[in-house]
Structure 1
């Protein structure tokens, strides 16, 4: 956790707020894993009011991933925390962090907006990327917190049902629903990749 806070502090005037610290502590296992794997990941805490922005997002600038917290004067940051499944808050924060790190990996690999074999070219590429990141988040839970998988899957379904825009970038329910029974415990990320491709071939 020390390296993470040290990285975040220079980007946040006056230090971190309690909300920012809570999100970062929850995401810590995922961020530590990303660092251990050598991903070019920087933590950015926006110091200005960020009302209307997603509390957590991933940017890619000059070959480096930016794990961006936009939480000041942003009611959604607290609202999201309040919607986390009771008793599994850290697991949900890990899932969200793993989602963003999955975006980072796709950028670093030069695969952003790339289509899996057989995927419908008409499907919004942003939607496919969000679907992959959701499945990667579930794969993290399957690998690290298998006892929490069912509860975290149900929470993710509820999140994706909120303000759903059919066919929009965050309409990933076709993929998430297909993962309801879990992912192969022996290789959850490979299972997620196979599921992503299979659903992408049929998604409209």
Structure 2
């Protein structure tokens, strides 16, 4: 995106922030907002998604630096940077050449969640697919937890694929490096089959051509359903 368009996107983002004025933002919050602004602008203007950006003014240790909430029919991109070293860690762990594109990938991941909420499809299997039953050997409360974990894992897989589809469309020259970074992130402290174990879908998206010729969400949906079928 040309520099003047990126600046305009960031200005628009700051003008519509909830819970903080642009002058109150920390350098870390400003860096994240600059990074995600192309995705926010695209979501609002090209995709017409009801999307707001919220900067948490209170300390949020242990929170995800960037997450999505869904309130009254609107999607909320929530930044939780204050008192939370994870925001700095994620930036510092990235190669400088990948930082902006990686922040866009993370924001596009959250757009995937937004789309699923807006479609009324959150945690639901698509038509033609049946969710696995919880092992009967588990007590009832653990069966519920197992099902919740499986459904969250599916949604995280879809979100990762939307992030990669965005990368394919906007930063094709960085696709292989960002795919590798995402695989490493998902492999760190991995518990196989847990909420953020999306490696099966990432393996299907190793080649950028997986997403060619399709709009953002449709591209992710095709690869996602292949993973569900497997």
TM-score range, shorter chain: over 0.9
Structure 1 SS opposite 2:96: coil
In the TM superposition, what whole-angstrom CA distance separates every residue of 1:49-79 from its partner, at most 9, and x where no partner exists?
A: 1100000000001111110000001010100
Map 1:1-204 to 2 at 5 A: 1-8=10-17, 10-12=18-20, 15-36=24-45, 37-119=47-129, 121-122=131-132, 124-182=150-208, 183-187=210-214, 189=216, 190-202=218-230
Structure 1 SS opposite 2:97: coil
Indicate how the Cα distance of structure 1 residues 28 and 188 shifts in structure 2: closer, same or farther if over 3 A, else same.
same
Structure 2 SS opposite 1:110: coil
Which whole-Å CA distance do the structure 2 matches of 1:121 and 1:129 have between them? 13
Structure 2 SS opposite 1:68: strand
In the TM superposition, what whole-angstrom CA distance separates every residue of 1:114-141 from its partner, at most 9, and x where no partner exists?
A: 2134545127111111000100000001
Q: Which ranges of 4 or more aligned residues in structure 1 deviate by more than 3 Å?
A: 117-120, 188-191
Q: TM-score, normalised by structure 2?
A: 0.83
Which whole-Å CA distance do the structure 1 matches of 2:169 and 2:62 have between them? 33
In the TM superposition, what whole-angstrom CA distance separates every residue of 1:147-196 from its partner, at most 9, and x where no partner exists?
A: 11001100100110112121111110100111111224222643431211
Which whole-Å CA distance do the structure 1 matches of 2:228 and 2:123 have between them? 12
Q: State which structure, 1 or 2, has the greater radius of gyration over its C-alpha atoms.
A: 2
Structure 1 residue runs of 5 or longer lacking an equivalent are: none
Which whole-Å CA distance do the structure 1 matches of 2:19 and 2:124 have between them? 32
Which whole-Å CA distance do the structure 2 matches of 1:192 and 1:102 have between them? 9
Q: How many residues align?
A: 201
Structure 2 residue runs of 5 or longer lacking an equivalent are: 1-9, 133-146
In the TM superposition, what whole-angstrom CA distance separates every residue of 1:86-111 from its partner, at most 9, and x where no partner exists?
A: 31111000000000111111111111
What RMSD over aligned residues (CA atoms) do the two structures have, in Å? Answer: 1.6
Which whole-Å CA distance do the structure 1 matches of 2:110 and 2:35 have between them? 14
Which whole-Å CA distance do the structure 2 matches of 1:165 and 1:53 have between them? 19
